[in-house]
Chain A
Amino acid sequence: METTAAITQSKTRTESRQGKLWRIAAIARNAFREAVRDRVLYNLVLFMLLLTGASIFIGELSGGQERKVIVDLGLSAMLLFGVFIAIFVGVGLVYKEIERRTIYAVFSKPVGRGEFLVGKYLGLCLTLLVNVLVMGVGVSLALLYVSRGWDPLIPTIWPAVLLIYMELMLLTATALLFSSFSSPALSALLTFMVFIIGHFSADLKSLAASLGSTSARWLFTGLYYLLPNLANYSFITPASHGRAPSLEFVFATALYAFVYIAVILAVATLVFSRRNFK
């Protein structure tokens, strides 16, 4: 009798877990469709124009350094466009649903607030993945064009693309966290500040080390560990010199991103579940 009950309970749990995943996937799919409908991927056209122009004209200006310039320009544009998408689309993910009052329809169904947030997050991550993949292919094609054939820089840009994508995933989570409790404008500003501070993290550490006051040292050391360390994801310049990060480095940064994103989404869910929509 007890065994049957345990089996039934386990079956119910498995079904519930599957249902949860299915609901998250459905929300993610819709978030991706919404981004496509909102013409977010149109930035790819601009990116392609930028790269095509650079491939044709940069040779004249760079003193024979067109391959380096194309990698720097292509990957920097990838990061910049991605940051704008992560911030401006990310902060609107939840807000738009509240503004249009569609959130009531969503929550009238058996969808948890955490599921809703994670689904939205994964939807935007999927949009960004498509974005960086197409851009990565674009940079590779530009390199093929300027080298008139195979270029040894092509395989070394992909680990840098992966790191850029991880940085964008971190920023998207941050944008979602801020948008779960504040207005889109403030969320965008705060996320952009996190992006800036995240690239200054090494300075925070050295600042902490140089300070005389113990409390100030603690504060800045705390901030160093608390804020996302985005400088770890900057591998554009080494990639332009044909250097790829070690597998261990990529694994460690991926693990850091995974843990950090999980924490941010947990906090966002906590804040969002206490929010009153009445």
Chain B
Amino acid sequence: MNNRTRTIALGLFVVIGMACAALLVHRIDTLRPPEDPNAIDESLYVNGKMARRISLGFNGLAADWYWMRSLQYVGRKIINAENLPIDRLEQLNLKLLAPLLDTATTLDPEFIDPYEYAAIVLPAIDVNEAIRITKKGIDANPNAWRLYHQLGYIYWQQHDYRSASEMYGRGAQIEGAPAWMEAMKAKMAADGGSRATAREIYTRMYEQSTDDKVKDMAHKRLLQLDSLDQRESLRKLFAAYQARTGRCPSSWKEIEPVFRALRIGVDASGAPLDPGGAPYVLRACEVELNPESEVPAK
């Protein structure tokens, strides 16, 4: 066997060997017992302080890793509930999210995104942890006005409008904070529970956030607010129709001309469309969201 033949034979052997190894790996994967779904919820072995201590100057990279792990953790759980807004994840049992975000922010206290993510996602899971992590972010980054906005948002969700107003007020005093922070302070104090305040909050969140998921959540909440306004108007229409005819409309067709006059979009059956473009459902003098609608029901 000359040198060339030997090289070709060895090359072929390597290729065939690697192909066999890949086939075997594939076979082993099918034989492996299914993974325990609770395994991904196993508690973290090291807390943030310890992780920072042992990171040997690689704390920034370790923080990035914990941050990406938080996103993957939520992403894996959310995969089967795609239409769920990220501020309504309470049913997904995300018990590891708070420790993951806490560790990421302990490793890199100036990393703003995990604090903001905690402020948006955590209140539905553990509101005290959400407040604690956001406050930790404010302590580490006293000039980050966006964190005051996020903490104000958490308090607003808890209907604690006084604290929310205080947070917006404190944030407004920071150099570089937008003028609407001051306006939000007044709005929270005077009319915290109103739909207008909610609209203002989600509009600002949509404008300020760099995270696509947060933007998407804010967008959905804005659609929901528009839909609430629409449904309120529709109920008024039903009431007027009932007063005039003594009965509820049995189909959308009966009141379609009114929609046309009010320039409300309708589909082929005459049903008015919600802000997401799905037709509303008429049920005994009550208007409901279509189950297919992208507008969140809650």
Contacts and interface: CB of A to CB of B under 8 A. Distances in A.
A227 to B, nearest CB: 14
B236 interface: no
B67 A65 contact: yes
Given A237-B108, A238-B110, A241-B110, A62 B56 contact: no
Interface of B, secondary structure class, is: helix
A65 B61 contact: no
Interface in B182-236: 210-213
Q: Which residue of B56, B67, B71, B211 has the most chain A CB atoms within 10 A of its CB atom?
A: B56
A199 B71 contact: no
A63 B64 contact: no
Contact of B58 (A233, A236, A238): A236
B154 to A, nearest CB: 20
B205 to A, nearest CB: 15
B113 interface: yes
Nearest to A236: B60
B110 A199 contact: no
A65 B116 CA distance: 13
B60 A76 contact: yes
Contacts of A234: 57, 59
Interface string A40-74: 00000000000000000000011111001101110
Contact of A76 (B61, B210, B213): B61
B77 interface: no
B57 A64 contact: no
- Which of B61, B71, B111, B113 counts the most A-chain CB atoms under 10 A from its CB? B61
Interface residues of B, number: 22
A71 B110 CA distance: 15
A236 B56 contact: no
B49 to A, nearest CB: 11
A241 B61 CA distance: 12
Contact of A72 (B60, B71, B211, B212): B60
A203 interface: yes
Contacts of A22: none
Contact of B60 (A80, A196, A240): A240
Contact of A237 (B53, B110, B211): B110
B64 A65 contact: yes
A195 interface: yes
B59 A237 contact: yes
Given A237-B63, A238-B110, A62 B68 contact: yes
A63 B213 contact: yes
A236 B212 CA distance: 27
A79 B72 contact: no
Most buried by A among B60, B63, B71, B72: B60
Given A68-B60, A68-B111, 17 more contacts: A62-B64, A62-B68, A62-B71, A63-B211, A63-B212, A72-B60, A72-B61, A73-B64, A76-B58, A195-B56, A196-B56, A199-B56, A200-B53, A203-B53, A230-B57, A237-B108, A241-B110
Name the 4 nearest CB pairs between A and B, nearest first.
A237-B60, A234-B57, A72-B60, A76-B61
